[in-house]
A and B are shown apart, each in its own frame.
Chain A
């Protein structure tokens, strides 16, 4: 099981870059999940399925209308935002007061419905798109950096910066943070908590939408792609601390880098198990999350 394949500085740096781009995607997904948890105290187990839906939307936009995935962000993100607000209103809001286990079940049911609906509509075939720049790589001093991975990191940074500006500099953003800090206190000072809930959920889905559109050029689209990601992202937010955005970002990067470095040493198939062990260890060492 243990194999060391041409391990040298270059391979390591390559893995690091790969890890950063993966980490960027995980950032987008986990920050959304954490945002929802911080504001509404719900772990949305259907989050991966929303990523899958976003990927399918971007895929069909490309397949039917020929829209470049990176431009489709401007369609997918707002669409997911509205979808998120609808979902929150119809499914999440009624269970906000219910106990935790009920919330888990409803989000689980939602994930099942989304996954299998897409399975029924579009079959289990793995789909992928081809763009003019799919194989474009830059060779910087022996390190091969795919163009799509660079864009990945770029969009992650852009999105997170936009999120930061929204949360800290706009009035609505500050309202979102206020609700996350203290739900009742925020409503006392006049924040429309129901509206903030919808916005937060929509925002989380918009981030996931960006993530989906960005991954599309180099990943496959299939109904259970959400499961792949949600497993990693759940580990990330547990280790980083439920509700802590900074922890999610840092742990996403750790996860991405760990993942890409691990495949250098071990067969890819046990990746998940090793990640589980690593992140459970992190969680055990600091149960409240990496940052208190």
Chain B
């Protein structure tokens, strides 16, 4: 990434100004909701899901390769940090990076056979790999305690360990992290690597003819996205303090992050955040109210959301509205039509 690109972006004062405003607003939301624990929890989930959705976006939205098994890296991150803490008292800030490294290696191992080809192979490969890995984790009872799960214990409040008693502190961890990832994504997209992502998605043949190694690009995108997903998993494990294979490999995460991307606008930078702000509170409210009476209702809703958005609002709900507004700088909101 050249110095020119960097200054170009920062010179767009409006962009910088709006970014800072949004960040400050987000910083003080907890105060706005009077630190209501339920609201804080929903906010944490919004940003955590936005983080995960953005990481999926890197391979799914920008590079066009749908990974149906992203939750595997989530699980790897969760288990790595949980087990390293419980067994060896390693701080999560470090173990999450270890988990990210493992996820990176795994993603390259899975990506190599399936990303070389076009077509459904990658989606199928990731889906089946998730099941296989879940079985593996459940079977290795000596290491992972199998279906019994891992309890994050002892509990403490320690920033280095990324463990807190107060959910508000988790918010101040997750929100800036998501924001930092957003910034990173913006810069990534304007870099040569980012352009090769987009080119691979738009027209692989043209990209190849220009000298872009599409296979390598796809694998890099997959590796980067797996790293972020893994970090999200580590944080999630600390947040919920108990994990087992069924929780961390749940199809619900895959579905949620794909839905969030579709609603927010597939392949746009702000899409995951917007989609998350729309879908997560909605699903949490549904879960609180009728979720206990009607089991599985929010998954049915996700299913309908997916189908309806694909049929009628492909660029995402927000982008469809935004197209009516001419003046806003649209590159970051632009999605693939």
Contact = CB atoms under 8 A, between A and B. Distances in A.
Given A105-B307, A105-B310, A110-B303, 9 more contacts: A101-B60, A106-B306, A108-B255, A109-B305, A112-B299, A238-B124, A270-B139, A271-B135, A287-B117
A112 B300 contact: yes
Contacts of A115: 296, 299
A272 B297 contact: no
Contact of B303 (A94, A112, A267, A275): A112
A16 B294 CA distance: 43
A34 to B, nearest CB: 12
Contacts of A113: 300, 303-304, 307
B127 interface: yes
A116 B300 contact: yes
Contact of B307 (A109, A116, A227, A269): A109
A272 B137 CA distance: 11
B120 A100 contact: yes
B262 A269 contact: no
Given A43-B120, A113-B300, A242-B120, A108 B129 contact: no
Contacts of B138: 269
B88 interface: no
B121 A238 contact: yes
Interface of B: 60, 64, 66, 68, 113, 116-117, 119-121, 123-125, 127-129, 131-133, 135-136, 138-139, 251, 255, 258, 262, 294-297, 299-300, 302-307, 310-311, 314
- The A interface is mostly helix, strand or loop, or mixed, namely helix
A43 B119 CA distance: 10
A100 B300 contact: no
Given A108-B306, A123-B295, A269-B138, A101 B66 contact: yes
B132 A284 contact: no
A111 B258 CA distance: 14
Chain A interface residue count: which class? 35 or more
Ranked nearest first, the 7 interchain pairs of A and B with the lowest CB-CB distance are A112-B303, A109-B306, A116-B296, A276-B132, A113-B303, A269-B139, A109-B307
Q: Please indicate which of the listed interface residues A110, A111, A120, A276 has the most CB atoms of chain B within 10 Å of its own CB.
A: A276
A270 B136 contact: yes
Q: Please indicate which of the listed interface residues B116, B125, B297, B303 has the most CB atoms of chain A within 10 Å of its own CB.
A: B303
Given A104-B123, A238-B121, A283-B113, A272 B132 contact: yes
Given A91-B307, A109-B304, A116-B303, A273 B135 contact: yes
A112 B139 contact: no
A117 to B, nearest CB: 6
A187 B203 CA distance: 28
A123 B302 CA distance: 19
B294 A100 contact: no
A105 B258 contact: yes
A231 B120 contact: no
Given A115-B299, A116-B296, A272-B132, A234 B127 contact: yes
A270 B139 CA distance: 6
Contact of B135 (A119, A272, A283): A272
A283 B115 CA distance: 13
A102 B315 CA distance: 12
Contacts of A287: 116-117
Contacts of B132: 231, 272-273, 275-277
A269 B135 contact: yes
9 contacts: A100-B119, A100-B120, A104-B120, A111-B303, A113-B300, A113-B303, A235-B128, A269-B139, A270-B135
Contacts of A263: none
Given A119-B295, A270-B136, A276 B128 contact: yes
A149 B133 CA distance: 29
B311 to A, nearest CB: 6
A102 B313 CA distance: 12
B283 to A, nearest CB: 13
Interface in A60-83: none
Nearest to B65: A101
Given A112-B306, A242-B120, A231 B127 contact: yes
Nearest to B112: A284
